[in-house]
Amino acid sequence: MDALLATLDIRDAADAVDALRAANTRKTPFAIVGAGSKKRLGRHAPLQQHISTRALTGVTLYEPEELVLSARSGTPLREIEELLDAHNQQLAFEPMDYAPLLGGATRSATIGGAIAVNASGPRRIKAGAARDHLLGFHCVTGRGEVVKSGGRVMKNVTGYDLSKLVCGSYGTLALLTEVTLKVLPKAETEQTLLVLGLDEAQSLAQLRRASGSPHEVSSFAMLPAGAAPLGLDANAALLRIEGPEISVSTRREALIAQLGDTGARFETLPQNESGALWAALRDVTPLAAHSGQIWRLSVAPTDGLAVLDELRNAGAPIIAYYYDWAGGLVWLCLEPAGDAHAGTIRTAVDACGGHATLIRASDDIRARVDVFHPQPAPLAALTKRVKESFDPAHILERGRMREAF
């Protein structure tokens, strides 16, 4: 490979093997680039050489009756979703599009990138994350070795475990060349029940009550008063109900009966408005227009409000926020600071055993501040051993997740 070439387009796994073996010989690290929609996600650790998967495209297997699809990693996610939609099917984990937050063209992401960062949306609390739908994959490790894991059935335990390792590794373990996914039928219709007029604690309590009900709610979020995209004058607990139309209507009425003992008022968003709302929450558009630094806090659903109260008490300059996953996921935008308020945020999150990830900040801050939550020593040691088993020379995405590797 020409040493002056900044980006290498690979056509297949053999190209990736050649590139990564040569990189190991030269000790030259590579960044992996698909559409580039996530290039500002993770630590800022710019690398001079890139491997591009933009030529590694195409659906290689789709059997609607078997609910399985395989595609090369550079295949645009948009194309896969359009193909599934034509067969009334979907990726149930509804992968988040980071473009509204991080810049770039919307809906430009690739399926490989979505799996690499475990991109999952509001339905995760019911349907699971991206890693739960990954049946198998082909990849090339940082050593330049081809690996095939899993297959077309979830019974393959070895493949399932390895899939969980690679999914969410941000390309630091291996370059994905093909993925096989479980797909699911789309619901006949959906509605969103808005529970209005309660304070924040009561609104979150209603989400948890609904999550423990038999009414099969598929998504649970809470927007504070005035928050986009609804802009209502009251807090809104949001419950998405999906399925056959008669079932959706019946379950909505049952929820109203169950939750009506608090004096709340109820409104219903029909299918199109409901779909648009959850797409906006999936892509964090309520915070995207704000210019501050954005964090993603993952805690137990019962701890979301307590963490925010702790941050308020500590004087954190909160611009905007909202809750997803019944209060267990908090999207938070704060006024910019040189340390991105990392100490304050992580102290609050550590108190309840959660973790916090810095999603949006300037390059220099993401180079200095730990983007991912610091790991306990035993877990950090395990992470290092896994990394070195896949990529001992730290060729892939050096510095993307941890400064040390």
Which CATH number characterizes residue 226's domain? Answer: 3.30.70.2190
The answer on 177 and 84 residing in a single domain is yes
* pLDDT score recorded for residue 85: 97
The answer on 198 and 347 residing in a single domain is no
In a domain, 357, yes or no: yes
Q: Report residue 282 as tokens.
A: 């999936």
Evaluate the omega torsion of the peptide bond into residue 376 and state whether it is cis, within 30 degrees of 0: no
The answer on 199 and 177 residing in a single domain is no
* pLDDT score recorded for residue 101: 93
* pLDDT score recorded for residue 164: 87
Closest CA to 27 of 346, 310, 398: 398
* pLDDT score recorded for residue 28: 93
Which CATH number characterizes residue 291's domain? Answer: 3.30.70.100
Closest CA to 327 of 255, 224, 226, 401: 224
The answer on 45 and 177 residing in a single domain is yes
The answer on 130 and 261 residing in a single domain is no
The C-alpha atoms of residue 257 and residue 266 are separated, in whole angstroms, by 11
Query: What DSSP element (H or E) covers 382?
Result: helix 377-390
The answer on 222 and 110 residing in a single domain is no
Q: Report residue 344 as tokens.
A: 């304050």
The C-alpha atoms of residue 266 and residue 283 are separated, in whole angstroms, by 25
The answer on 177 and 194 residing in a single domain is no
The answer on 259 and 197 residing in a single domain is yes
Query: Where in the sequence is the domain holding 201, given as residue range(s)?
Result: 189-282
Question: Residue 226: helix, strand or coil by DSSP?
Answer: coil
* The total number of structural domains that make up the chain: 3
- Within 10 A of 63 (CB to CB), how many other CB atoms are there? 11
The answer on 250 and 295 residing in a single domain is no
30-33/49-52 β-pairing = parallel
The answer on 110 and 205 residing in a single domain is no
Which CATH number characterizes residue 51's domain? Answer: 3.30.465.10
Mean pLDDT per 10-residue interval, the chain, length 405 residues: 66 96 94 94 93 96 97 97 98 95 91 96 95 95 93 44 90 97 97 97 98 97 96 97 98 97 96 97 95 97 97 98 98 98 97 96 96 95 94 96 85
